[in-house]
Amino acid sequence: MSGTSRAQLCFLLLSVTALRGHARFLDIQQDNEISPEGLLSLLSSELKRELPEEFVYRRALRCLDMVAVEGQFTFTAERPQLNCAVFFIGEPSDIISVEYDSVNIDCRGGDFIKVFDGWVMKGEKFPSTQDHPLPLYKRYSDYCDTGVTRPIVRSSQNVAMLFFRLHQSGSSFTVTFRKLINPFPCNVVSQTPEGSFTMIIPQQHRNCSFSIIYPVEIQIGELNLGQHNDLKRSILGCAGSGDFVELLGGNGMDTSKMYPMADLCYSFNGPAQMKVGCDNTVVRMVSSGKFINRVSFQYRLLGHQELQQMKGNSIEDVCLRA
């Protein structure tokens, strides 16, 4: 083989390998030695994150509860508990994993434990049916149906819920809650009333929502919608545009039932801010899939006085906006 053809072949092989895009890393333990398990993990498609027993956080679960920390949670029914729900929430770049460790319930007697992929409140779901990849019935995962064969349930975003009903006192169950990394978070519920976030949709035909369950002032720092800046399109409004960002406000969880406060369909730099006096404020990005879309924003909680001022200034109460 001649030198140039060998070089060309090597370059070709390098390009093809790079295109595959897989990455691996080794967890180096004590003394900088690479263990056999570490080497084996290179070959496995899933990297396991197992903590030693003594470091696992444990506590009892309550009938109404919210869990934001990884660990093992046990619920024991001291008396019949017919309507219980536990919310799980992680960081924006996490997805939730719920694993059944030990379950002692009476499925035939009407007990159930269900994991819901998202949050649901007053019949309204987050993410909405339009923004979630799965149909509604697939978002409920019933232990009595599939829990034994499929003991680990994963969410599609940083929130999940557990609903359970136990008729007999003494019934109990234990679940392990873990957070896994999600490199391109799409639907997010913010844990805090203040913070910042950059949402990126990399050439995917999907809609993503960032929900803040507080009245906040949103400041959009940078918006990058694709590569074309079509001013003509912006004059006509965002209705015909396949890529845009909308600011929603409402008093429920479902983004499809919220009021549009503003919409942006052209890229810009420099802050644009808006106060939204609703119980739930959402930044939602609609993406056609043709471009890589990115929006960066910050948000801060509106004070009581600001809300009062907005109430005084506003004629209509579509929540409140300023």
Contact flag: residue 116 with other proteins (CB under 8 A): yes
Using rule CB under 8 A, residue 206 touches other proteins: yes
Which H or E run contains 94? Answer: strand 94-104
Q: Mark the segment that binds other proteins (CB under 8 A) among 29-37, 116-124, 147-155, 263-271.
A: 116-124
Start-to-end CA span in the chain (Å): 72
Binding flag, residue 9, other proteins (CB under 8 A):
yes
105 touches other proteins by CB under 8 A: no
Q: Interface with other proteins includes 69 (CB under 8 A)?
A: yes
* Structural tokens at position 144: 């009595």
Q: What is the DSSP letter of 61?
A: P
Task: Tell me how long the chain is.
Answer: 322
Angle at alpha carbon of residue 287, lines to 284 and 293, rounded to 5°: 85
Task: Please tell me whether residue 145 binds other proteins under the rule CB under 8 A.
Answer: yes
Q: Checking DSSP bridges between strand 64-67 and strand 81-89, what pairing results, if any?
A: parallel
Q: Which of 63, 272, 274, 292 binds other proteins (CB under 8 A)?
A: 63
If the CB atoms of residues 83 and 232 are measured against other proteins, the closer one turns out to be 83
Stretch that binds other proteins, among 36-44, 62-70, 221-229, 307-315 (CB under 8 A): 62-70
Spatial contact of 217 and 300, defined as CB atoms under 8 Å apart:
yes
- Footprint of other proteins on 302-321 (CB under 8 A): none
* Complete DSSP assignment for 131-151: T-SS-HHHHEEEIIIIITT--
Going by C-beta distance under 8 Å and a sequence separation of 6 or more, which residues neighbour residue 314? 320, 321, 322
Find the shortest distance in angstroms from Cβ 123 to other proteins.
4
Complex with other proteins: residue 93 or 234, whichever CB lies closer: 93
The C-alpha angle with vertex 69 and arms to 300 and 220, in degrees rounded to 5, equals 20
58 binds other proteins (CB under 8 A): no
Which residues does 234 contact at the CB level (< 8 Å), separation at least 6?
A: 265, 266
Q: Within positions 157 to 196, which residues make up the interface with other proteins, using CB under 8 A?
A: 161, 163, 167, 191-192
Contacts to other proteins by CB under 8 A: 5, 8-9, 12-13, 16, 19-21, 55, 57, 62-69, 71, 81-85, 87, 89, 107-110, 114, 116, 120-123, 125, 129-130, 133, 135-137, 140, 142, 144-145, 161, 163, 167, 191-192, 204-207, 213-214, 251, 279-280, 289
